[in-house]
Structure 1
Amino acid sequence: MSLLLRLPRALRIPRPQTLAPRLYSTTSGEREPWRRFSKFIQVSEEVQQALAEGKPVVALESAIITHGLPYPDNVELAAKVEQTIREAGAIPATTAVIHGIARIGLEASLIDVLGKAGSKNVQKVSRRDLPWITGVDTASGGTTVAGTMILAHHAGIKVFATGGIGGVHRAAANSMDISADLAELGRTPVAVVCSGAKPFLDIERTMEYLETVGVPAITFGKKGEDTFIPLFYSRDSRWKAEMVIETSAEAARIVYAAQEMGLESGQLFMNPIPNSHHINHLAMKDIITGAVTRCRKKGITGKAITPYTLEVIREQTRGASVLANKALVVNNAKRGAEIAVELAALTNGSTWINAASEVYRPKPATDTPEPTVTSKTDVLVVGSIAIDLSCDATTAVQLSTSNPSRIGESLGGVGNNVATAAHYTGAATKLISAVGKDLSGDWALQRIKTKGMDPMGIKLVEGYSTARYVAFNDSDGNMSVASADMAIIENIDHEWLKERIVKARPAWICLDGNLSSETIKMIAGGEPTGVSIAFEPTSVEKAARIIHPRMRLYPRTRISLVSPNELELASIFNAAKEKELFEAEKWFKMIDEIGVDSMFNNEMEMLGHQAGVDFRSTGILQQAVHLAPYFPNQLIKLGSRGVLSVRLVPSEFDISELVPKPVVTRGSGPDKLVVQHFAAEKPSSIVSVNGVGDTFLGVFLGHYSRKREWESAINKAQRAAVLTLASMESVNPDIEAKKKKYGKLQEPVTSINPFTRIGS
């Protein structure tokens, strides 16, 4: 019986009957988060890079190239549209099917091939056509609105710009002719920018259909004035718009809100054609009425209606409709790029955290100087500095009375401890924190300077006192109770924080659980970027701050690493369960693909016997497995029993030389769990447990950020933690002096870096 079937009923995972394979890179061998169907979908290198770095990307259809305009007008328009998107600060991603492979991002040469092929040699590709043309026919085709939305969504592209959408055809009550575009908008979370539905459709019923499937139809116009739904060639119509916005920033906020709420439908943004190419809707109505009548008389139905009607319109307007079509497509591309740029800033919460420290939205004119970009940082720690008071009882502890103790004062705080430990390893380390304008704050800054660390990331704050942490330890050195005042850290200024992170250009960011949930989400929310993020839970209560309802799954998760103890792991698990993260369909599929079976259970039972820990009865294993799709790298601190490493890695990850020997799942999917237990070093003495876990994480990050040696980093971190156990300091200064000594251990280097992308 599998592990998952032994869980409580509420946590059991049904096994889906069919599972789709996911994509691997065909160029570099590294797995890319947006690639899910390697046999059927390919993403261009430029689009891959843009998505990995959090740059704004705009999807484009190709049906307009294959079926919309003649050659070379179609290719020239495609080039102009892509250029317009680049000039607005985004990356274009034209989609098409080429010889049975769905492509996201086309080179100019492929666009030219499509343009020359013409509608007789390629087909239109909508949702129903994708499995046929990629699975059997292996032909080429231009993607429609629906087809492009599907591919954009698989790639993680949120904005798609096109000319117009399909809709409910006239007399659909008899013909049932309703465009697949509408259904796709109702089930695929991609924002579509267009100039409205084609004017020969039943506009009223089209809008009604969109409302039924939960798609907001939003028109760009002037608030407070009468704004009408645009009809492709016409800026106006007889239908008044219900939802009106004025700016691309407003559109981005709508997309962002839908994304954060987990809505699975898209949004329709109708961008009126430029005034210079507007055709009066009443004049167009007469032309269309005549075209529809001809269709009926000639028995033209289905897909043939649209091209025939467009040809009649072209003839009747003497080509003006073609010029209008080109103008609106370019105008929509510009609008789509603007929305994508604004959305990147909102969605990531971290376009400003990009590894290259580039900000991808246009910078407004300002007299305020931009932050100066400094040299790259290996480890940037964002968290607390605190004055630590350690009260170590010298006799048996008695409640409700004074206890004889040794009381020591040191500079601590989780953030400071982690940064200090990383700094002692020789890593380029920076700390971002805050202290009060008081004596404790002054002393803290002096201590930071004394350690040779840069104090420029420490903000002096009026109205708050410097954070304090008081720990009471029993006569054996184990903590009995502790209190903390971290208000100054929980209320740290976000704009100041963003500026400091941009300047640091970090490879790794470590977040301290003393930060507020809002601050953590601001940094670690949104889409993946090129920065790896670690989370130190800090305490049972604060561990849950990392959880929010819209967390992303591997390999798009933003949190690369968590380092909880047993109690903190349970707290994170319970918070995730409460937020229903284990109810997500994609989570079920990933767990099923990983393949946690009876053999894995038995091997973990043997590992637990060797380690002296029953990983199953304590719940550690179940919790780690459940959380792996959200936190793909877990270092679970077991105190005197060592560290349990749980990693979610690509299936081709080489385990042959890993030491200690791992336990590995054998699922059919693209990922597998690699579990290793690292026995603890035996301390010569225990003076204080304060800062031991922080020391472990800091040394691990300091080593791993530079060497990329997982096992070696853990061993060195454990040795450093033992040194801190023997010290009254929160981080033993001897770590720096002895780093060569504890660094002698040579460990095999893993063949694949599990942190190639965020969350991988």
Structure 2
Amino acid sequence: MHWHVCFERHLSAIPEHIMIGNLVYTLGRQTVSVAPRITQMRRFLHGTHFRVSASVEEALADGRPIVALESTVITHGMPYPQNLSMAREVEEIIRTNGSVPATVGILTGRIHIGLNDEELQFLAKSKNLVKVSRRDLPYVLSQGLSGGTTVSGTMIVAHKAGIPVFVTGGIGGVHRGGEKTMDVSADLTELGRTPVAVVSAGVKSILDIGRTLEYLETQGVCVAAFGESKEFPSFFSPQSGFQAPCQVQNEEEAARLIASTLALGLGSGMLITVPCPKEEAASGQVIEDAIQQALSKARRCFLFVCRSTGITGKELTPFLLQKVNELTSGKSLQTNISLIQNNARVGSRIAVALSKIQDATRSGHLPRHEKVTACRPVVIGGINVDFIAKARNATILAGGQTNAGKVRRSFGGVGRNLADCLSRLGKTPLFISATGKDEHSESISQYCRHMDMAGVRQLAGHSTATYCAVITGSGELSLGLGDMDIHQQITEQHVSKFQESLCSAPLVCIDGNVPVATIQYVCQIAKENQVAVFYEPTDENKASKPFLSDSWRALTCISPNLRELRTINQSLGYPVPAELPARLEDVVRTALTLTRPLLTHLHCVVVTLGMHGVLLCGRRVEGSISLCCAAHRKNTADELWASHYPAIPISREEIVNVSGAGDSLMAGIMAGLLAGHDTDTCVRMGLLAACFSLRSHEPVSQEISAASVNLEQVKARSWPEVKMWTMN
């Protein structure tokens, strides 16, 4: 393990008293010793009281962003099975947004940093587990007990492991009447002495919020509201009537706040409060009424049966939350889950932004106040759950007859396929899309873990796009049915959140599922920043979207089939043939005729011809057709040429389905382009990727990788002859 990487990343999180030795690490003007810290951490991670999961240990060693998660929300905060599904969903959200989840829990006397699914189930289903705060840790470990760690307990573990960001639902605070009972959560004192950033929805509204803020001030804790408002959230509701002392408007500002706090070595934590999403927030008055009723019941229990019921101390909050949930008919639980998921999303992105700042600090390039964005491709488009019905016979029987065959579920969508294939080829793009918040979206998240899904918008009350394809026994698409309304939520407003990524991208690819207004917005951004834009028409009905205005003139390359190409020409008012030819030579001639007028503005047109391969049309530069390059703009003096690349020979028996072959083709071409290869290599990489996907049940073959589709594999094959035509 590369322990020095882990420690350089989390240096400021290690306690000062263990800095002894000769090896030094310099941060700005401050020089401190590092070697003993490494020894201390090794002892910690491999001690008898701790077990670190492989994923967390690898992330620590590699210096990747990690988000700590508590476990009392699993053991004491929610009923089963909601607690288990919530824990799984939160971990997946953190992965989707670029970080590694590290749920902290105690199982039979050992602190676990990172839990597998079996361990999550144990905590979710078990009864009479201990609620473990700072004071409880020694006893629970010595007795070999199991339990869920509170905010306080989790902060301690996260700090010792070198994890600076911790996500929870809401922290504890000063209880109502706390000025008399002295009932103050240990979470507050922990924030005053443990340098971990806690991302939460404020404090639970069953507490005294005003006195909690006063106590945090006394402890020297920096409290910042996240987002557009300085209002301090009250857990179930975005409003509390109190203002936070500080405000950070986005993840980058929050990361800079954390970095500054750690660099100063103050020894105290930070509280970043994220308001509950407005669309999920329960009415503040409804919750407040329920709280008053629950508090009244708790007081009666305390006065009359306190000794028998034990509703005191750390048992009071779970009791009150349960009563509030009952009084609001489950609305408070629904809101609770929603806000934890939202906190996880924000916290993961903060951890990623903090990681970039720490990387820049170590390399000596301190970031300015602008956002730090990686220069990588962006894909914007649809994501679907596909149900593929393949008939046993080459001919589909119509008239309501049942055709023998097999039905499979897979995950598709043109944009998703492109992003999937690019990710497998080592060119992981930012993928921007939208899904519902349903069982399909959960399956998608699991399947697409190798992709960057940070730009995928999940919307409650909407259905994830589904598509049903009926395919003949020979692999040809016979009929397609789709429920695609969610794609209208890939709005200009959503995509504009990633404007910096768009402006700095070497290439942006957008598919025909995206609304016209969003396509126009992306084209305008591309034009202003000289970014290459590929457009994948998706199908005949959506092909003409960019061509409904002058937006298409900002496109660099499009990849239609012959039917889509005819539709595009028709939308521009050019003459088109009534019937499309079948013979290859006639197909090529028709494609050349339909492509020529588009090249007055487009750099290149890639016409996909199915079993006949691909026709590449564009300007001939130094002997080959130029695919695209933002730095090399078209020159009207260049000659227009077309190159026909035959498909890799494959028998009909080998073809499993054709739904993702065209997307794999284009992803292979783009991956070659991003790698700096010449046009021939790029096209042949695309043909290789398409060949893999034709043999796969999935739209994008899982056999596609940077090792199976690359320059060496292209050179190792013998290829059919490429034929060229002049278009002038």
TM bucket by the smaller chain? 0.3 to 0.5
TM-score (normalizing by structure 2): 0.43
Kindly indicate whether structure 1 or structure 2 has the higher relative contact order, using CA contacts under 8 Å at least 6 residues apart.
1
TM-score (normalizing by structure 1): 0.42
